[in-house]
Amino acid sequence: MKITRRRLWHITLCASLGAACISGSARADDDVWAALQRGAHVILLRHAVTTAGVGDPPGFKLDDCSTQRNLTDQGRTQARKLGEALRAHKLVVDRVMSSPWCRCIETARLAFGRVPETSVALSNLFGQSENRDPQVSELRTLVSEFRGRGNLVLVSHGSTIVALTGVSPDTAEMVIVKPESGGKFSVVGRLRPSPL
């Protein structure tokens, strides 16, 4: 294999960082982008950067964004850049769905230029462990039954994505899965957002 300057830089960086660098390799990223360009994948996207904290303030309401943790200006920039990256890679997106939380809806709107349809299957599981099993089951069905020619984007929360896949994404990170028969799916890889 020919070692390019970019690849040499990456190998040097990985040697200094150790195992933490494996999933972020340039080649792995290229393979994941290529899979998405072929279509028929599901992108599980964690919302972009929000105001500090975890969960939402006590008494928050889904129909009142002012009671929730929302995107910061940095998060809005991050969501726009994510959309630019997807368009630069010429991905076909069949459908965009979002958690009903405002930070997810805004991430989807800024990245894809449209208001997504919402689904309770994508709701935040943080502090709502009683919903975990039925919600993960509904989400697993949604993911495993997707058969589009393009890709399905599901904008959700870290707690929900890790409950489904076992992968804990950073803000604005994508976990890519491939639907399989029998109500199953496989994790293809993950794509981290570009630095702001």
pLDDT digits (tens, 9 = 90+) for 22-37: 444 577 899 999 999 9
State how far Cα 159 lies from the chain centre.
12
Condensed to tens digits (0 to 9), the pLDDT of residues 36-84 reads 999 999 999 999 999 987 778 888 999 999 999 999 999 999 999 999 9
What size, in residues, is the chain?
196
Cβ atoms of 143 and 167 within 8 Å: the answer is: no
Between 24 and 124, the higher pLDDT residue: 124
Hey, what amino acid is at 40?
A
At 196, the pLDDT band (50, 70, 90 cuts) reads low
State the pTM of this model.
Answer: 0.85
Give me the phi and psi of 58, to 5 degrees please. -55, 140
Instruction: Identify the CA nearest to 142 among candidates 187, 94, 183, 189.
Output: 183
CATH topology classification for 24-191: Rossmann fold (3.40.50)
Element spanning 4, H or E: none
